[in-house]
Chains A and B, each alone.
Chain A
Amino acid sequence: MNPMDIVLGVIGIALSVMIFSYLLGDNFFFRVALYILVGVSSGYAAAVLVLKVIIPRLIEPLRESGTDAFWLGLVPLALCLLLALMLVPRTVKAGTLPLAFLAGTAAAIGVAGISRGTLAPQLLAIVNRFSPDLLRENAVADWGGIVEAFFILFGVISVLFYFHHRLSRRSADAQRPLLVEGISGVGQVFLGISFGMLFVGFYSAALTALIARIVWLKEFIVALLAG
């Protein structure tokens, strides 16, 4: 192993131990490790943004004065300068205009994307299950498909029921009708199943990362001992 690898390896071990020290409670070393992570990642991200976005897309066009790109580049430049004024406490509100522009653009993109990319396909997926072509196999009703279609429809409705009535239950402690309680209960069950899968998924990802750390440590120590 070359010296640089050893140094970086030792740094990696030290940082890992500092993070795992959290098991003993929040402490100085854990916080130091967090602040190092924040510093390095923000510095690197800032450098990428400057080198890959700001300079090529904002600064470079402004060097060619008189061109269309120059005049068009003045608009984002002005908006970026207004954003920069947010750093000064007195001129915080100067950034409202560019942020409003960003918010409006993002909102429109979000609305279009959600409706076309998520809501419509998901709702159609529920409805299309009731298509006669899908519910019939060789002119015989596919009862499995029919049951599944109703099951999915009822399940999604019950989940949405639970969301809606959970909010209304918070505001008033009134007794809800039995039907509403029943449907919300079914929704809770389906949600619980999904949450269980999400929990297992996240735990699996975290476990894989933990195992990877331990394996790396083992391999580093073995390589170090091997010389």
Chain B
Amino acid sequence: MRKTIPIVVAALAAGFVLAALILRQQLGGWLDLVLNWAIIIASAALLVAVAALILTHLRHIIRGQRGFIYSIILISAFLVSFVGALVLGLDNTAYLRWVAAIQLPLETSLLGLAALVMTGAALQIFRSRGWSLLTISFGISALVFLVISLGLLQALNIPLLTTIIAYLQRLPLIGARGLLIGIGIGALMTGLRVMLGLEKGWGE
């Protein structure tokens, strides 16, 4: 019984949302209410996740586990950021500058680091994956699009070259469409399974 209630709740919620999307005129108001509840619960779930993260790191510190110094750093940064927003307000310029001064260099540097690591990985791709249709087509395609991204060929303004480049830029359409359809079908099946109670998408 205890295991059935969540399945029933999930199925009922899903069924109601689908019905409301179809019968918008009749159920539009209720749908808005349910969506509002879902947004609040989703936000609360995120807050619970953050709280769980903090509690985990607190436990690391209390038990003196290996790497607790990192936990101290994380909790300190969290407290300064969280309490600062509550006290100063989200619109406070000084607070936003401080957040930007920390997040912007870190996130930008992380993404920049990805470029450096990708350069190293590009050397290893063929050694680790070997030669196959996928890797060969990937390699050639990457080289072609890198050359196109330079912009030098387009700058020549040769009509035939421009036409060829336009066709090449449309070529990934096929693979991308296949990817989207494949992923879409997979996500559709997963959603249907959750709606029908065949899959428990809430971590049980």
Contacts and interface: CB of A to CB of B under 8 A. Distances in A.
Interface of A: 4, 8, 11-13, 15-16, 19-20, 22-23, 31-33, 35-54, 57-58, 72, 75-76, 79-80, 83-84, 86-87, 93, 95-112, 114-115, 118-119, 122-123, 125-126, 151-152, 155-156, 158-160, 163, 185, 187-197, 199-200, 202-207, 209-210, 212-213
Nearest to A72: B33
A214 B72 CA distance: 31
A151 B167 CA distance: 13
A116 B43 CA distance: 26
A191 to B, nearest CB: 5
B124 interface: no
From A11, A75, A84, A99, name the one whose CB has the most chain B CB atoms within 10 angstroms: A99
Nearest to A19: B109
B78 interface: yes
Interface residues of B, number: 113
B161 interface: no
Interface string B47-59: 1101111010000
B139 to A, nearest CB: 7
Contacts of A38: 53, 74, 77
A159 B48 contact: no
A101 B10 contact: yes
A192 B137 contact: yes
B180 interface: yes
Interface of B: 5-7, 9-18, 21, 33-48, 50-53, 55, 70-71, 73-82, 84-86, 90, 97-99, 101-116, 118, 132-146, 149, 171-182, 184-185, 187-188, 190-192, 194-195, 200-204
Contact of B177 (A15, A100, A152): A152
Given A80-B40, A97-B9, A156-B174, A188 B82 contact: no
Contact of A108 (B79, B191, B200, B203): B191
Given A48-B90, A111-B18, A209-B112, A159 B204 contact: no
Contacts of B53: 38, 42
Contact of B43 (A54, A125, A197, A199): A54
B202 A111 contact: no
Main SS class of interface, A? helix
A50 to B, nearest CB: 7
Contacts of B85: 43-44, 47-48, 51
Contacts of B52: 86-87
Contact of B184 (A32, A122, A189): A122
A37 to B, nearest CB: 4
Nearest to B137: A192
From B21, B40, B98, name the one whose CB has the most chain A CB atoms within 10 angstroms: B40
Given A72-B33, A185-B133, A95 B48 contact: yes
Nearest to B51: A87
A98 B177 CA distance: 35
A194 B181 contact: no
Given A37-B103, A79-B37, A80-B40, A193 B172 contact: yes
B6 A197 contact: no
A105 B38 contact: yes
A71 B13 CA distance: 19
Contacts of B18: 108, 111-112
Contacts of A102: 38, 41-42, 45, 202
B118 A104 contact: no
B77 A107 contact: no
B144 A196 contact: yes
From A42, A76, A112, name the one whose CB has the most chain B CB atoms within 10 angstroms: A42
A160 B176 CA distance: 11
Given A36-B74, A101-B37, 17 more contacts: A20-B116, A44-B85, A46-B50, A47-B84, A54-B44, A80-B44, A99-B203, A104-B17, A107-B192, A108-B15, A109-B17, A122-B184, A160-B181, A188-B132, A193-B172, A199-B118, A206-B118
A36 to B, nearest CB: 5
